[in-house]
Amino acid sequence: MNLRKVQKVKVSDHFDELWLQRQIEDDPTILGLGDLVVLTRERRQSSGGRLDFLLHEPETDTLYEVEIMLGATDESHIIRTIEYWDIESRKNPSKEHRAVIVAERITSRFFNVVYLLNRAIPIIAIQLDLLRLENDLALHFTKVLDVYEVPEDAISVGGEPTTKSYWETRVNPKSMEAAEATIELCKSLYLDLRVTYNKYHIALGTVRQNFCWLHPRKKQIHCHVEIDVGDDTEKVRAILEQAGAAFTVRERGNLALTLSTNDVHEKQQPLKQVFHLAIDANS
């Protein structure tokens, strides 16, 4: 593997904001916010302005109000983002909302302002970089601020009950296959496994409560998995690190990871240890 240096260049020297919007519209996942869907672009607001993007995450029914700016962020960028977030929040009060600021440079002054606001308003700050490697250019988005804590009942709310067929018609077959492989693995550990198909996730539970939530993806071949391991977080981290499995620790100590069917088979033994601890913690 060769290490090659890249050069950071200004987006405005090569493209305009319209071009950037088209890239995001073609593939919203480049923002690093998950498998989002574009609801509207340049959405007209009652205040007279236009929101760059209104994005939707079907799994959690969360709306993202996204404002983009070439160059460094400034007062007007922050004010617009908050204003549009507030307008959309009042239009759809039953949904979760996130204000998203995207800029080429988030200065220390405005980073501090956004950080302070984040304690009252769920603001996500993303820095945009355009990188040059010889004759090629690459867009790179880095989430520099996202400390908003999801509500305590975010996982327990699964939406309307559905069926396995509902999921099979909405997601990538390989992602659904990974979910089913995970279910079969858990069944081998707990014979009375309770599988509940909801609109926003597939929940796996003991006779007492759920310990795992599966989110098959529309485009990717893997399945997003969140596991409640109780007080055994450190033990599970050690197991996953030794197995070379990538994971993220959530706010409440739950662990999130992505699993393909191959991952479930190749890492079967360490995953069995992890799910066994999760089942014990919730039995």
Average pLDDT (237-253) is 79
Name the pLDDT band for 174 (thresholds 50, 70, 90): very high
pLDDT value at position 184?
A: 96
Task: Name the β-bridge partners of 84.
Answer: none
Better-scored residue on pLDDT, 253 or 85: 85
Average pLDDT (100-117) is 79
pLDDT value at position 160?
A: 77
pLDDT at 226 over 70: yes
- pTM for the full predicted model: 0.52
pLDDT value at position 252?
A: 62
pLDDT value at position 181?
A: 96
pLDDT value at position 67?
A: 93
Better-scored residue on pLDDT, 227 or 256: 227
- Tell me, rounded to whole angstroms, the distance of Cα 264 from its chain centroid: 21
**What is the CATH number assigned to the segment(s) 164-281?**
3.90.1150.20
pLDDT at 104 over 90: no
200-214 pLDDT, tens digit each = 889 999 988 899 999
Closest CA to 114 of 84, 66, 147: 147
Name the pLDDT band for 274 (thresholds 50, 70, 90): very high
pLDDT at 249 over 60: yes
Average pLDDT (42-60) is 84
Residue that has been written with the tokens 């993202």 in this structure: 64
* 3.90.550.10, 3.40.50.300, 3.40.50.1100, 3.40.1350.10: CATH of 7-145: 3.40.1350.10
Residue ranges per domain, the chain? 7-145, 164-281
73-102 pLDDT, tens digit each = 888 888 888 899 999 988 888 788 999 999
Closest CA to 211 of 191, 195, 199: 195
Q: Rounded mean pLDDT of the chain?
A: 85
pLDDT value at position 119?
A: 66
